[in-house]
Structure 1
């Protein structure tokens, strides 16, 4: 899929789900983030892992369509191989529904990844959005380049 192609607009309920999700980094410097978080807690966490920014991304459930576990695992392994091929540091992470209605979704927290790479992987792995943590800017969603909100 190219940037010029439009992808289906995520429904309002899906956008609200992203905003309610708890994004958890599971190792090294465990932390929990929500969209809209900002301030010194994110800056301190980034400093603790020696990074200027971080991106929590997954390859599971392309465009939020339920996918078989074995396909999700294979997609996630491809994403991990891409991260390692780019020589980027990463930590295991997950997106967790605070209400418990859906199971945690395995993710990867990639440190100091540039915006072009985020966009490329959003396209390659067919994800609506990734979570971005930036020093002085806080926690926000970076939508797939083909998404029109």
Structure 2
């Protein structure tokens, strides 16, 4: 994997994240869809409840590099184990572009954002989607080397301690 990416690739990835639909399977089997820059559906806000904030997170495709499905499933299983150990609540989900790419993910609630950030870093994620009951969903970024290529925008936020280039 390259240590850094071109500004064009970074902008293309951000555009893909923004175009992605983040589907969450609710406990009753209905699917609620998150989108960057939009408020969470009411059923999802109800599930988040008193936690007020949740994060759509995956362990798949580290540093935005595709892995085979069996590798991704093992990584996601490891994330589930970590979440259970932390007593986090989570729902199954999938990020996808309609008719194209799909990435299994989890919507995590019941833990501090710092814990979610640690998990994102441990699983080498470039970004996660943070959703609040009070604000539109934002893309939370973890790649320090992306800072020079990305301007501040309302639907983007940086984790306090972003991933360093490796």
Is this a same-fold pair by TM over 0.5?
yes
Structure 1 segments unaligned to the other structure (5+ residues):
1-5
Q: Deviations over 1:81-137 (max 9, x none)?
A: 111110001110110102x232x2100011133221121111100111111111212
- In the alignment, is the contact (CA less than 8 A) between 1:43 and 1:136 conserved in 2? no
In the aligned structure 1, how far is the partner of 2:22 from the partner of 2:69?
A: 20
Q: Tell me the equivalent position of 2:123.
A: 125
For residues 82 and 48 of structure 1, do their structure 2 counterparts lie closer, same or farther at Cα, with a shift above 3 Å needed? closer
Cα drift, residue 48 of structure 1 = 4.0
In the aligned structure 1, how far is the partner of 2:108 from the partner of 2:47?
A: 14
User: What's the TM-score once normalised by structure 1's chain length?
Assistant: 0.83
In the aligned structure 2, how far is the partner of 1:143 from the partner of 1:128?
A: 6
* Count of matched residue pairs: 140
- In the alignment, is the contact (CA less than 8 A) between 1:42 and 1:138 conserved in 2? no
User: What's the TM-score once normalised by structure 2's chain length?
Assistant: 0.75
4+ residue runs over 3 A deviation? 6-10, 41-44
Higher relative contact order (CA 8 A, sep 6+): 1
Structure 2 segments unaligned to the other structure (5+ residues):
151-166
Q: Deviations over 1:10-69 (max 9, x none)?
A: 61111000000000001325300100002xx54653224534111110011111111122
In the aligned structure 2, how far is the partner of 1:110 from the partner of 1:63?
A: 20
For residues 53 and 42 of structure 1, do their structure 2 counterparts lie closer, same or farther at Cα, with a shift above 3 Å needed? farther
